[in-house]
Amino acid sequence: MDYDVIVIGAGSSGLMASVAAGEGGARVLLLDKGDKLGRKLGISGGGRCNVTNAKELDELIKNIPGNGKFLYGAFATFNNRHIIAFFEGLGIRLKEEDNGRMFPVSDKAKTVVDALVGKVRSVGVDVRVNSPVSRVIYEGGRASGVLLKSGETIRSGAVIVAVGGKSVPHTGSTGDGYAWAEEAGHTVTELFPTEVPLTSQAAFIRSKELQGLSLRGVTLTVWNGKGKRLIEHTGDMIFTHFGISGPIVLRCSQFVVKEQKKNGGTAVKTTIDLFPELSADEIYAQTMTLCRDESRKAIKNALKGFFPEKLVPLLLGLVGLKEEITYDNIPKQAWMELAKLAKSFPVSINGTLSIEEAFVTGGGINLKEIDPKTMQSKRMDGLYFCGEVLDIHGYTGGYNITAAFTTGYNAGKHAAETTKHS
């Protein structure tokens, strides 16, 4: 036996698994196919590394809509409080930003990645980069090592698969773990892009007239074909050359993906409430007052202070109002339509960017086949899975990294307990 524990993948989950296994006294080897450790962690949170989220446990779970409840067991041992204490123990000061998001005070992902990698080395883990694994070796009903692409075989008492999903493959996550899981008798639930920008063929998207327009504090709602509200999120978004993106769009994206799966891929209706705090009647009254106060101005100019400038011609066109008219000529009916449109501006969505372009991969190794406390396979002894390769996905905001750290920690700890000095 060369090692007690081999960890495949030096992302968020694999690095934390290595720390826990090393601290647990196991002889650990961490393998990564790339030349750097923690590459995806290093670009998370806009390059500032969104290490975790400070919300209460129940809120954390709610923000992990892809099977967050599976994590109750793992969180009992290692949760966001432990993550914060872990990094502060390494001398990394953290700060809380909006919505509980935690970042290093340095605002540099490198600080976090370097500290984590330093900890991995300090607990005696052997690290090998540029070492792609081609498969996990299964013998006599247990995982007993790995075969590298180079042809080298390395033996171990346990193998932790921490290779991530399929998103942003240039960081190394190319979906290698799914086939290894299937070979061990696991099922893999359907993979799909999540936390992903949405594409639209709407005329105003194709014309690119709204490209670059950011909306703040708006509500995006996703509807099904029967007119039922599937989800809504309030916050910021942006129009792009292909559709819409930004925090609330990413949050809504999985509901669009699931609805399209149900409806055979037809377009999904979304609407934007530009003024969640105001009713249509209030918008009607406020815009009327605005135009009355500037009664000599064309309405397209008078409304600029109320609506984002880029939106004004589009909104007026959609309700059949001429841009040049002034207050005296406003048709009341069309004005009411304008107010209603501001509460429910439709954007027809025809799909998403690809799974490779998504922030997170939805679906993965079926959780029914994984022990929720230890992340050990119920199909193969000595085999563990952690991180995004599992069928767990959260909203952006530190939730995916938290899930990766907690599953990684528990996998490493248990693998060490069961294998050390075997």
- Name the minimum Å distance from CB 99 to ligand FAD: 11
- Name the minimum Å distance from CB 108 to ligand FAD: 15
Please name the helix (run of DSSP H) or strand (run of DSSP E) that holds residue 408, with its range, or none: helix 399-419
Contact 4, 72 (CB under 8 A): no
Rounded distance, CA 239 to CA 209, Å?
9
- Name the minimum Å distance from CB 243 to ligand FAD: 18
159 vs 303, which CB is nearer to ligand FAD? 159
Rounded distance, CA 254 to CA 323, Å?
38
Contacts of residue 317, defined as CB under 8 A and 6 or more positions apart, other chains included, come to none
Rounded distance, CA 350 to CA 268, Å?
6
Tokens of 52: 């975790």
CB atoms < 10 A from the CB of 212, how many? 10
Pairing of strands 198-199, 351-352: antiparallel
The three-state secondary structure class of 181 is helix
Tokens of 203: 């005329």
- Name the minimum Å distance from CB 270 to ligand FAD: 23
173 vs 254, which CB is nearer to ligand FAD? 173
Rounded distance, CA 64 to CA 374, Å?
19
Rounded distance, CA 166 to CA 362, Å?
9
- Name the minimum Å distance from CB 224 to ligand FAD: 27
50 vs 219, which CB is nearer to ligand FAD? 50
Distances (CA, A) of 413 to 17, 138, 204, 417: 7, 21, 53, 6
- Name the minimum Å distance from CB 211 to ligand FAD: 21
33 vs 251, which CB is nearer to ligand FAD? 33
Handedness of CA 124, 126, 127, 133 (dihedral sign): negative
Contact 131, 151 (CB under 8 A): no
Handedness of CA 288, 294, 299, 305 (dihedral sign): negative
68 vs 164, which CB is nearer to ligand FAD? 164
- Name the minimum Å distance from CB 140 to ligand FAD: 24
- Name the minimum Å distance from CB 380 to ligand FAD: 18
31 vs 416, which CB is nearer to ligand FAD? 31
167 vs 287, which CB is nearer to ligand FAD? 167
- Name the minimum Å distance from CB 237 to ligand FAD: 16
36 vs 420, which CB is nearer to ligand FAD? 36
Question: Which residues share a beta bridge with 243?
Answer: 199
271 vs 400, which CB is nearer to ligand FAD? 400
164 vs 351, which CB is nearer to ligand FAD? 164
Distances (CA, A) of 154 to 31, 83, 381, 389: 11, 31, 17, 22
Which ranges constitute the DSSP H helices of 310-372?
Answer: 312-318, 332-343
Residues near ligand FAD, by CB under 6 A: 8-14, 31-34, 39-41, 43-45, 50, 132-133, 162-164, 167-168, 171-174, 176, 359-360, 387-388, 394, 396-401, 404
The three-state secondary structure class of 213 is coil
Contact 198, 43 (CB under 8 A): no
- Name the minimum Å distance from CB 146 to ligand FAD: 8
